[in-house]
Amino acid sequence: MGCSYCREKQYPTTESKKRFGLCTFITPLSMLLPLLFDVPILLFFGIMLGTGILLLCVYPFTVQLSNREEALW
């Protein structure tokens, strides 16, 4: 992604990638709700859609950028 001020390419930091990687487990984890609890199917799809939208909305505010690409490990 590019910086709107200096027009240089920016990369997410390693810490930011790890943090958001853990957050993305929320959506698949919510798939276990109908197995563990008696959740109606419409509520289940609403929860899945809601968590997906929430993650997409929160990502721009939680990502940290760097001028250089860092290794994941």
3-class DSSP assignment, residue 12: strand
Q: Which of 66, 62, 68 is nearest to 22 (CA)?
A: 62
The pLDDT, as a whole number, for residue 73 is 64
pLDDT class of 1 with cuts at 50, 70, 90 = low
pTM: 0.66
CA distances from 34 to 19, 24, 41, 43, 59 (A): 26, 19, 8, 10, 27
User: Average pLDDT of 36-60?
Assistant: 87
3-class DSSP assignment, residue 46: helix
